[in-house]
Amino acid sequence: MDSFMDAAIAEAQAGLAEGGIPIGSVLVHQGKIIGRGHNRRVQKGSAILHGEMDALENGGRLPAAVYAQSVLYTTLSPCAMCSGAILLYRIPRVVVGENVTFLGEEELLRSRRVVVDVLQDSRCIEMMREFIRKHPTLWNEDIGVDPGASERNEWTSPERERGVDPGASERDEWTSPERERGVDPGAATRRWRFGLVKERDES
Ligand SMILES: [Zn+2]
């Protein structure tokens, strides 16, 4: 399992060497890499080539049964676009390098019964931290954020530096069914986010 994340990290490093955003991904079917790629938005002037999308694209056209038995490894928590592709092809498991610098749609994936494992690999965290520090504009563009006004807080706040999603508690507070039942929905998330429990409590 670790060697597949190593392969995804190698892809991310290759992307960085090309002047791109260091996010890599590999698609693994029955213990073999069948697709590999890295973010090539900068290199290709592409709107859609995130690392995961590039790995899927390079894997080529595959039957549904192959995706259904595959695991997608990605160095960074998958965004809405990549999570959509994961759901579309019914990839049952995603192994994520880290979600400290960016938390994607992991809850959406889990709600659709995708198994999401987050490794919090320090190599992935460092790579993204350094890139975001050096190229904040490029990074915001990659995740579809207008760095003006209201968004500025979300991406540069001290909470963000500590790996806390400042929006999570608000979303939970006002929209979750847990709230209806008088349960603090943030507690499980916080424990999970800081690695005190492996998965979110579903109770
Ligand atoms: Zn993405």
Per-residue pLDDT reduced to its tens digit, 174-197: 444 554 555 555 555 555 555 544
**C-alpha neighbours within 13 Å on the C-beta side of residue 25:** 32
Q: Which helix (H) or strand (E) holds 96?
A: strand 93-96
Least confident window among 34-38, 59-63, 156-160: 156-160
Burial of 144 (0-12, 13-18, 19+ CB in 10 A): exposed
- pLDDT number for residue 29: 98
Dihedral-angle region of residue 195 (phi above 0 means left; psi in -120 to 50 means alpha; beta otherwise): left
- DSSP state, residue 46: -
Task: Give the pLDDT band of residue 202 (cuts 50, 70, 90).
Answer: very low
**Choice between 108 and 145, residue whose per-residue pLDDT is larger:** 108
- pLDDT number for residue 175: 47
3-state secondary structure (DSSP) of residue 40: coil
Tell how far the Cα of 101 is from the centroid of ligand 1, in angstroms: 14
Q: Which residues contact 144 (CB under 8 A, 6 or more apart)?
A: 79
Active site residue 107: no
Task: Give the pLDDT band of residue 5 (cuts 50, 70, 90).
Answer: very high
Tell how far the Cα of 192 is from the centroid of ligand 1, in angstroms: 22
Total-model pTM: 0.73
Tell how far the Cα of 169 is from the centroid of ligand 1, in angstroms: 23
Catalytic residue among 11, 18, 52, 126: 52
Tell how far the Cα of 195 is from the centroid of ligand 1, in angstroms: 23
Max mean pLDDT range (1-5, 26-30, 146-150, 197-201):
26-30
Q: Which helix (H) or strand (E) holds 190?
A: helix 185-193
- pLDDT number for residue 166: 57
- pLDDT number for residue 157: 52
Tell how far the Cα of 122 is from the centroid of ligand 1, in angstroms: 20
Tell how far the Cα of 197 is from the centroid of ligand 1, in angstroms: 26
% of the chain with per-residue pLDDT over 90: 70
How far is residue 126's CA from residue 119's CA, in Å, rounded to a whole number?
Answer: 14
Q: Which residues contact 106 (CB under 8 A, 6 or more apart)?
A: 77, 78, 83, 96, 99, 116, 118
How far is residue 55's CA from residue 70's CA, in Å, rounded to a whole number?
Answer: 12
Does residue 203 register a pLDDT over 50? no
Q: What are phi and psi of 154, to 5 degrees?
A: -65, -35
- pLDDT number for residue 2: 66
What the block records as the tokens of 79 is: 């965004």
Task: Give the pLDDT band of residue 147 (cuts 50, 70, 90).
Answer: confident
- pLDDT number for residue 174: 46
Quick one: angle between helices 185-193 and 168-175, nearest 10? 150
pLDDT in tens, 115-131: 999 999 999 999 999 99
Mean pLDDT along residues 37-42: 97
